[in-house]
Amino acid sequence: MNNTSDIIQSSGILFGTSGARGLVTQFTPDACAAFAHAFIASIENKFNFTHVAIAIDNRPSSQAMAQACIQAIRARGLEAIYYGVVPTPALAYTAMQDNIPCIMVTGSHIPFDRNGLKFYRPDGEISKADEQAILSATAEFDAISELPELEVNTKAATAYIERYTSLFERLLLEGKRIGIYEHSSAGRDLYADMFTALGAEVIALERSDEFVPIDTEAVSDADKLKAKKWSEQYHLDFIFSTDGDGDRPLVADENGDWLRGDVLGLLCANEMKIEALAVPVSCNTAIESCELFSHVTRTKIGSPYVIAEFEQLAKDFHSVAGFEANGGFLLGSDVEVNQNVVKALPTRDAVLPALMLLAASREKSISELVNSLPQRMTHSDRIQNFATEKSLAILAIAKEQPEDFLIQLGFSDSAVASIDITDGLRMTLTNGDIIHFRPSGNAPELRCYAESDSMVQAQYLVNYALKQVQLVKITD
């Protein structure tokens, strides 16, 4: 007999900013089962349910992980509904409408040798307190001896498409040529139907049989060149893509220029006439300076922190939403669009911001909409395989002596005007530039975000800061 707490602790799998993450080798059948048992045990006294839904991304390891979770669900006397490969928000939305919990097997954008589990209560994404409840659960369970066969239910895919096509007239995208960069996205078999149903001509681009770890916050130079080429070659008005599990959008304008996720979120929120926003501290300050919203709250990075703020905002505002620098849009309240109600979906979603941007571009081009905003440029990148312990040690010293840290980075002709330690270290310089370091919550990576009046300067700040921080010496 196994104990969930013992198995989870010995696995080495940790919760990050977006679910439990670890190496594929750590997600053994018993480890997956332990997480499923612990999750259900942590919520079964708070909700009444007889079914648990589960879905996966296209990673090679995801199906076996789902099988182990389903075996655990059945062992607890519950029915498992398997939705196959669908985007995380499709699973979450359908489960919320059915008032049942769900588990998404995905590692999002991290490399294919890693994977993860995302958990949703019947009322939405779990909180940080829920994570601790899972880790501390002590349910007993039998070791996994065999993995069950899987039968795909198509309900989640169908409901997700209907959620968005029902909001708009059928010819919303008539005359538009939309490229879908499919790679290995979990939603790649849904998006063409969705855009076609709204009148667009769809061109499928670069489907991959191997998993592609697309990071919407750090778009590769290769993908930047691809978008330019595709836009010109196919005369595209728009390119749509997502990360691995389809909850973070990656969209390009009519020129093949990828939009920053927080700019996309800003334009979406404005088109939806959202009153109050919760956004992570790393997002573009144009959100406040554009003066389009009644209230903006800054949070730690990660959807649980954004979602946690919705309850407070809902006390004072009718329409509430949030988005992240990675582009994921979180709808914190029901909102009316074209006299149709779109139900709240307090988890990251890639499709809603893309469609709202397309709706906003009926009279102006996407590039014109972007250029109408306050021109604060942001850029981000990361150092991979950079030990989290080292990142934390460097930033602990830097928070105490930010001026000295800035000099160590080589910015001796600048000075720190203020710092924000909401999440990592965010330094606003006297010239208005911003440099923000933060260890990733999902992998051994150190991220750097920068903001300036020009993209060239923002890119320089990130590239130079990431180069220099690797030279910083940690002394006892």
Using one digit for the tens of pLDDT, what is the confidence trace for 206-235?
A: 999 999 888 888 788 999 999 999 999 999
Q: List the chain domain ranges.
A: 2-154, 166-371, 377-469
Nearest to 85 by CA among 105, 102, 99, 101: 105
Taking the CB of residue 470, how many other CB atoms lie within 10 A of it?
A: 11
d(CA 220, CA 223): 5
3 state SS of 23: strand
Q: Is the pLDDT of residue 476 over 70?
A: no
For domain 2-154, the CATH superfamily is Alpha-D-Glucose-1,6-Bisphosphate, subunit A, domain 3 (3.40.120.10)
> What is the reported pLDDT for 181?
98
Report the relative pairing of strands 114-121 and 19-23 from DSSP bridges: antiparallel
User: Phi then psi for 282, rounded to 5 degrees?
Assistant: -80, -10
Taking the CB of residue 156, how many other CB atoms lie within 10 A of it?
A: 28
> What is the reported pLDDT for 402?
95
Angle between helices 155-165 and 351-360 (to 10 degrees): 20
What number is the average pLDDT over the span 164-185?
94
The helix or strand, by DSSP H or E, that contains position 307, with its residue range, turns out to be helix 303-314
What number is the average pLDDT over the span 348-358?
97
DSSP 424: S
Q: For residue 442, what pLDDT band results from cuts at 50, 70 and 90?
A: low
Q: For residue 248, what pLDDT band results from cuts at 50, 70 and 90?
A: very high
Give yes or no on whether 2-154 and 166-371 have one common fold.
Answer: yes
b/e sequence 68-96, b meaning 16+ C-beta within 10 Å: bbbbbbeeeebebbbbbbbbbbbbbbbbb
- Could you give the percent of the chain with pLDDT greater than 70? 99
Q: Which two tokens stand for residue 398?
A: 């830097």
> First CA to last CA across the chain, in angstroms?
45
319 carries an active-site annotation: no
Question: pLDDT tens digit string along 139-173?
Answer: 999 999 889 999 999 999 999 999 999 999 888 99
Catalytic residue among 61, 108, 361, 391: 108
Sequence-separated (6 or more) residues with CB below 8 Å from residue 104: 19, 54, 55, 56, 57, 88, 91, 92, 117, 118, 119, 120, 245
Identity of the residue numbered 295: H
> What is the reported pLDDT for 206?
96
Question: pLDDT tens digit string along 34-64?
Answer: 999 999 999 999 999 999 999 999 999 999 9
Q: For residue 443, what pLDDT band results from cuts at 50, 70 and 90?
A: confident
d(CA 300, CA 325): 12
Taking the CB of residue 456, how many other CB atoms lie within 10 A of it?
A: 11
Q: Is the pLDDT of residue 472 over 90?
A: no
Tell me the average pLDDT of the chain. 94
Q: Which two tokens stand for residue 215?
A: 């990071």
The DSSP-derived string for 342-398 is EPPEEEEESHHHHHHHHHHTTSS-HHHHHHTS---EEEEEEESS--HHHHHHHHHHH
What number is the average pLDDT over the span 347-366?
96
d(CA 27, CA 440): 20
Nearest to 104 by CA among 119, 123, 89, 126: 119
d(CA 181, CA 239): 7
Angle, CA of 367, 370 and 375, to the nearest 5°: 125
d(CA 337, CA 328): 19
Question: pLDDT tens digit string along 67-91?
Answer: 999 999 999 999 999 999 999 999 9
What number is the average pLDDT over the span 297-323?
95
Torsion of CA 438, 439, 442, 444, to 10 degrees: 150
Which residue has tokens 């498992």?
80
d(CA 398, CA 405): 5
3 state SS of 463: helix
Nearest to 383 by CA among 438, 339, 330: 438
Q: Is the pLDDT of residue 104 over 80?
A: yes
CATH number for the segment(s) 166-371: 3.40.120.10
- The answer to whether 287 and 266 are in contact (CB under 8 A) is yes
> What is the reported pLDDT for 215?
85
Sequence-separated (6 or more) residues with CB below 8 Å from residue 272: 319, 321, 335, 337, 356
CATH number for the segment(s) 377-469: 3.30.310.50
Q: What are the start-end ranges of the H helices in 44-178?
A: 62-75, 88-98, 128-136, 155-165
Identity of the residue numbered 450: A
DSSP 113: T
β-strand partners of 240 = 180, 251
